[in-house]
A = this chain, B = another copy of it.
């Protein structure tokens, strides 16, 4: 039951049933969360969503994590009790035979029922919420979703190293692309082989998003015209996908010479995500605008990294990138084109792909320990897309890149 060694070399994990999240992490996260509960004037919170549960307890076993504003938290475990005991460092774990028993068990283990209780109302389905209302009829319920999302935006040093380890898988897969990518193969065949490499390096497959209807499968490997296809998600690129049923990502389009190959890849290791984009082309671009746009994307990234540091608003960072695109006369192609243009240049990453900070015109201030992906990209409809994306952590005096790979376009 010792905490696992979890270094930054991809592909050497063993013993998935051991504990992953150290006890000290869980303890510190719950303590920070209790400060939030106090600020919100809540007596307790009941946490149930997988990403939040993993964050605060170290397990996704079917549980209700009860966090009182003061004192020890209790993990009420429905399934699997034995596994939760191994996976979570929380000392207080109580089997939950059925949801009906929840009120009684809270009373028994916490000396009474809370008057005010926080739930993740941003993700909790209405019917489940109503079930809690009927189980705890005296309680007043409040939304702790946004506060928990805000809390999770600032990563501990341990978490930053987990994102770095995840990023290392993206970089290693990127290094293997020249051995895979061939003219004439379909996007989805290319994607499948890339995904197999990722799996062999420990990619968990599952990519969590918090947004309702949010779906992501490894990222978006898009070539030529596919890069110009937008879809339902709030992303600069989407791709047509294999059918309208999923409507994003790789398609059956064959990969051709001279067109931009967008390698937008989301690694996911031990729960933690990063986001990473590099460009490939077979034989050099047929259209010279792509080289110019890529140079501009890198300048936008440079400008963002010059500006980004603790105390700076997301708005300032966003505007710095937009100014670079506008100065180059490429503003109409920046982060999408026409009605599909999006108003952000990056997003937080961690246990979910759509975390804070969002690098858009908003007033959230960057803090040390925040981790975000910055993805200046240009879209030329009917032609393709091009851009770069790295994942960064905010340090005391600036930002540090976690996705350490060469940034030049790879010509095959």
**A197 — which chain B residues lie within 8 A by C-beta?**
192
| Residue in B closest to A200 when the chains form the complex, CB atoms | B189
Bound CA span A206–B231, Å: 15
A50 at the A/B interface (Cβ < 8 Å)? yes
Bound CA span A130–B125, Å: 11
Cβ of A17 and Cβ of B240 under 8 Å apart? yes
- Closest chain-B Cβ to A60's Cβ sits at a distance in Å of 5
**A199 — which chain B residues lie within 8 A by C-beta?**
188-189, 191-192, 195, 250
**A81 — which chain B residues lie within 8 A by C-beta?**
339
**A250 — which chain B residues lie within 8 A by C-beta?**
199
A115 at the A/B interface (Cβ < 8 Å)? no
The A interface, classified by DSSP as helix, strand, loop or mixed, is loop
**A271 — which chain B residues lie within 8 A by C-beta?**
243, 245-246
**A19 — which chain B residues lie within 8 A by C-beta?**
244
Bound CA span A200–B197, Å: 15
Which of B17, B79, B143, B196 has a CB less than 8 Å from the CB of A232? B79
Which of B48, B60, B123, B269 has a CB less than 8 Å from the CB of A247? B60
Cβ of B124 and Cβ of A125 under 8 Å apart? yes
A145 at the A/B interface (Cβ < 8 Å)? yes
A198 at the A/B interface (Cβ < 8 Å)? yes
Bound CA span A59–B17, Å: 40
Taken residue by residue from 216 to 255, chain A's Cβ proximity to chain B (1 for < 8 Å, 0 otherwise) reads as 0110000000000111101000001111111101111000
A129 at the A/B interface (Cβ < 8 Å)? yes
Bound CA span A229–B197, Å: 25
Bound CA span A280–B192, Å: 23
Cβ of A192 and Cβ of B189 under 8 Å apart? no
| Residue in B closest to A119 when the chains form the complex, CB atoms | B126
Cβ of B215 and Cβ of A206 under 8 Å apart? yes
Known pairs A13-B252, A125-B122, A200-B189; A80 contacts B212 (CB<8 A):
no
Cβ of A212 and Cβ of B61 under 8 Å apart? no
Cβ of B188 and Cβ of A200 under 8 Å apart? yes
Cβ of B60 and Cβ of A244 under 8 Å apart? yes
**A284 — which chain B residues lie within 8 A by C-beta?**
none
Bound CA span A91–B87, Å: 52
A127 at the A/B interface (Cβ < 8 Å)? yes
Cβ of A231 and Cβ of B83 under 8 Å apart? yes
Known pairs A48-B213, A61-B232, A80-B230; A245 contacts B196 (CB<8 A):
no
Residues A9-60 near B (CB distance < 8 A) = 13-17, 19-21, 48-50, 54, 58-60
**A59 — which chain B residues lie within 8 A by C-beta?**
244, 247
Cβ of A204 and Cβ of B246 under 8 Å apart? yes
Bound CA span A295–B264, Å: 47
- Closest chain-B Cβ to A355's Cβ sits at a distance in Å of 15
**A48 — which chain B residues lie within 8 A by C-beta?**
212-213
Cβ of B17 and Cβ of A229 under 8 Å apart? yes
Q: Which of A197, A206, A351 has the most CB of B within 10 A?
A: A206
**A251 — which chain B residues lie within 8 A by C-beta?**
16
**A192 — which chain B residues lie within 8 A by C-beta?**
195-200
| Residue in B closest to A15 when the chains form the complex, CB atoms | B252
A270 at the A/B interface (Cβ < 8 Å)? yes
**A200 — which chain B residues lie within 8 A by C-beta?**
186, 188-189, 192
- Closest chain-B Cβ to A186's Cβ sits at a distance in Å of 8
Interchain Cβ contacts under 8 Å between A and B, 27 examples: A13-B242, A14-B252, A16-B243, A20-B245, A21-B244, A49-B212, A59-B244, A60-B246, A61-B232, A79-B340, A80-B230, A83-B247, A122-B125, A124-B212, A125-B125, A126-B129, A127-B145, A188-B200, A189-B200, A195-B195, A202-B242, A204-B242, A204-B246, A205-B218, A205-B249, A245-B272, A245-B351
